[in-house]
Amino acid sequence: MTAVELVIAPPLRDGHQVWLLVNGEISQTALYSDVFWLTGLTTG
């Protein structure tokens, strides 16, 4: 597993979400968080 931690300034407001894209595709559903955990990534 790989952690992707974001530093968001200014902080997210109520109702705002973060979407993580991997190779142009949505990797996970929207989160109200600043940390994503990814699995199955290829090296390189």
- Residue 20 has what pLDDT? 82
**0.85 cut: is pTM over it?**
no
Q: Among candidates 34, 16, 36, which has minimal Cα distance to 26?
A: 36
CA atoms within 13 A on the CB side of 43: 0
Average pLDDT over the chain reads 82
Cα–Cα distances in angstroms (integers) from residue 5 to residues 35, 42, 43, in the given order: 4, 19, 19
Average pLDDT on 18-34 reads 79
pLDDT of residue 2: 84
Looking at residue 16, what is its pLDDT? Answer: 85
